[in-house]
Amino acid sequence: MGQLGTKEPCQVLIEMINGEISSCEIKNKKGHTLLAGKQALDTIAGVGKLNWEFELKPKAPDTSTFPQASPQPETTPMRYPSYLDTSPIPIRTPHMMFADVQQWPRKYRQVFVLIDGQRSSEKIALMLSQPQAVIEGILRELQARGVIFLE
């Protein structure tokens, strides 16, 4: 992604707490913040498909030796905008025979139960604590069997 209209590289920093976006910033290569918050998320969404590199940073320990006079206010996580989720949304086919479902492997049944025509494959992966690639493999298999289709 260029620096908001230029071809200079930018860095997108997204902080997540308990699976929710708590902050988002777009910085230039010198580290200066160009956009932050909802404006940064909207800009990222407008760019289209991006390649991401994830870096897990543990929360910094509190190094202060003095107790804080007043507790820090808890930050409310930003809601993850659905337009940033580009993973496919599975939908059940209407002529599915539910008796066959009992014969499927457990993970396939778990995925199938969560298919409601609104949850994306990414959301299902998060709900089942499974890698998205595993869930999308199961969804492709279910699609090949003709019990779902992917939107």
Collapsed DSSP state (helix, strand, coil) of residue 36 = strand
In a domain, 81, yes or no: no
> What is the structure's pLDDT at 65?
42
Average pLDDT for 126-146? 91
Average model confidence (pLDDT) across the chain: 75
For residue range 46-87, list pLDDT tens digits in order. Answer: 777 766 666 666 554 444 443 444 444 444 444 445 555 577
Distance between CA atoms of residues 70 and 80, nearest Å:
30
Distance between CA atoms of residues 20 and 54, nearest Å:
15
> What is the structure's pLDDT at 99?
63
Based on the fold, state whether residues 95 and 40 are members of the same structural domain. Answer: no
The whole domain housing 123 covers 86-150
| 0.85 exceeded by pTM | no
Structure tokens at 62: 């509190």
> What is the structure's pLDDT at 76?
46
> What is the structure's pLDDT at 79?
46
* Phi, psi at 141, each rounded to 5°: -65, -45
- Under a CB-based contact definition with an 8 Å cutoff, are residues 81 and 45 in contact? yes
In a domain, 74, yes or no: no
Based on the fold, state whether residues 93 and 43 are members of the same structural domain. Answer: no
In a domain, 75, yes or no: no
Based on the fold, state whether residues 94 and 42 are members of the same structural domain. Answer: no
Distance between CA atoms of residues 105 and 117, nearest Å:
21
Percent of the chain beyond pLDDT 90? 23
Structure tokens at 4: 């908001």
3-state secondary structure 11-26: EEEEEEECCEEEEEEE
In a domain, 111, yes or no: yes
Structure tokens at 115: 């298919």
Based on the fold, state whether residues 144 and 102 are members of the same structural domain. Answer: yes
For residue range 138-148, list pLDDT tens digits in order. Answer: 999 999 888 88
- Under a CB-based contact definition with an 8 Å cutoff, are residues 110 and 101 in contact? no
Based on the fold, state whether residues 50 and 91 are members of the same structural domain. Answer: no
